[in-house]
Amino acid sequence: MIKRFFSRILRGPAHDPDRVPQPPSIPHVVIYTLVGVGLGMLFPIFSMVYLLVIRLLPISINGMIALQQQEPLLWVIDTAPLFLGAYAFVLGLREDRLHHMYINLLAERENVAELQKLTQQLERRTNQLKAITQLAERFSVRQDLHDLLKIMLEHMRANFGYYHAHMYLLNPDTDELVVAEGTGTAGEKLKAQRHAIPRTAETSLVARAARRNEVVWVDNVREATDWLPNPLLPHTYAEMAVPVTIDDTVVGVLDVQESRISAFDEGDASMLTTVAAQIATAIRNIRTFEQVDAALAEARAVQEQYRQQAWDRNRIARRHRGRAIFSRAGTETPTEDTLRHARQQALTQENPVVVTVPGDDTLERALVAPIKLGTVPIGDVQLFGRDSSTPWTDDELRFIESVVYQVAQAAENLRLFEETQERASRERLIAEIGDKMRRAPSIESLMQVTVSELERVIGGARTFVKLGTAENLQHAEHTPAIAPPDIPDDGRANGTPPAEGKE
């Protein structure tokens, strides 16, 4: 024991290089000083006891005081505690300084190791950021959602180095998380099986992430009570599930797995959260595109319906317009049956085509082309008189197609112009009638102006106007007619024919 103590004083403590020493609760300088003073006290005490024994004096305090007065040499021995304490104090300072220096060196070594680890993590994060940037470029391109998810997952596994990754999408009808895409053979099998997890499932990290709308991160899933093992992924040890949210509503879960314990850290959580946000944006954009496409399709259908109604053939026929026939001198005009058969075939085509139609006891070849506005047929073109020995060329067909397109656009412009003129005339007529009504001095005059103007414009044989509440009007037994005053004819609404105005 004494040998070890003196060896510690003279040589210093022996440290284990693989173990970080803990700072002593009491500084070494205090311990060493107390030990030095204690050892120094042994010298005067032992000397006085020895002298008292050989002189046959009683061993007592009075005897020691008397001995000190008789032997001045003992005063020199009494200084031993002072000298040994000072020496031990110096050794203690040295020990404390060496101890602190050793701790600092170990800390520096740990800092170097930590710096190397951080450098590796920084390189890994840099690669991940590059991968996320590349993913963002892909997300900005409109494409199918499942193709986008597949590219994203494979890109993540290749650049992030994960053991497995797959994407769940929430089915709101069944409240289940269904595998949309996955990496590797396991991902293909899970997608083919339409692997699904109820959001209410207790033994599932993915379900927990969807319920809580927060990142679920487990370092060792084998020790987690709510982990759902998958036989297709036998090497999973660490797992992280990140919810994908749109307007605080969970629409899916991004799940990644690793074959090492504690393989994930805060950096992975941050990166995957960024990827999940990009996925949410892509899903939102795709859904917006689908809504826009549906709205455009509905608008096109309404527009085509409007065009179909506007281009009512009966209306055009009543006005004796919208038809032209040209025949060269010496040739016969096709019969109405031939024209009708050709028209029926033309309206079923998309482009100009040569067809065979029944003629006068023969079959005639004709080139027919539909006149269309979008997908709405508004007419047709028929060309007769070319036999089979002189076929229509592709250039001629393309030329006729271009001409027919121009005819459709010009006809639509003319129809819109006429419609605008009719609307303007109608608005002008309404303004004139309203102005006459405002100038009426009394209710009776207002009623007379009303019936006279309606009779003038509409041409009704009998016109009645009556004012009152709904109850009075329903229970009225007699409705006196207000005869229109004698108003000179002003050309029926400034020359607008009533028949044309009523169409």
- CA dist 210 and 249 (Å) reads 9
Q: Are residues 168 and 110 in the same domain?
A: no
Distances (CA, A) of 419 to 32, 316, 378, 408: 113, 13, 16, 16
Instruction: Compute the C-alpha angle 16/19/20, nearest 5°.
Output: 115
Q: Is residue 351 over pLDDT 80?
A: yes
Name the domain boundary from 408, 427, 457: 408
Q: Are residues 262 and 386 in the same domain?
A: no
* Judgement on whether residues 158 and 278 belong to the same structural domain of the protein: yes
Q: How confident is the model at residue 210 (pLDDT cuts 50, 70, 90)?
A: very high
| Tokens (6 digits) for 459 | 């041409």
- Residue 463 scores a pLDDT above 80: no
**Residue 469 shares a structural domain with residue 374:** no
Confidence of residue 478 (pLDDT cuts 50, 70, 90): low
* Pair of tokens at residue 493: 């609404």
Is 296 inside a domain boundary?
Answer: no
Query: Is residue 457 assigned to a domain?
Result: yes
pLDDT per residue over 60-109, tens digit each? 777 777 777 777 777 777 787 888 888 888 888 888 888 788 888 888 87
| Of 53-57, 95-99, 280-284, 491-495, highest mean pLDDT | 280-284
Sole residue written with tokens 């004139």: 432
pLDDT of residue 495: 38
Note whether 162 and 270 are same-domain residues: yes
* Distance separating alpha carbons of residues 187 and 437, to the nearest angstrom: 78
And the tokens for 291? 């809504």
Q: Report the pLDDT value the prediction gives residue 460, as an integer from 0 to 100.
A: 65
Count of domains forming the chain: 4
Same domain, 57 and 101: yes
Quote the tokens at residue 330. 């010496």
In a domain, 127, yes or no: no
CA dihedral (346, 348, 352, 355) in degrees, to 10, reads: -60
pTM exceeds 0.75, yes or no: no
How many other C-beta atoms lie within 10 A of the C-beta of residue 6?
11
Same domain? 164 vs 279: yes
In the predicted model, is pLDDT for residue 242 greater than 90? yes
Listed in sequence order, the DSSP H helices in 55-165 are 61-70, 73-78, 80-139, 145-160
How far apart are alpha carbons 27 and 357 in whole angstroms? 117
DSSP summary character for residue 392: P
Tell me, what CATH number does 373's domain have? 3.30.450.40
Range of the domain at 274: 151-290
Average pLDDT over residues 195-199: 92
Interval 352-376: pLDDT, tens:
888 888 766 566 788 888 888 877 7
Range of lowest pLDDT (31-40, 110-119, 421-430) = 110-119
Residue 222 is assigned to a structural domain of this protein: yes
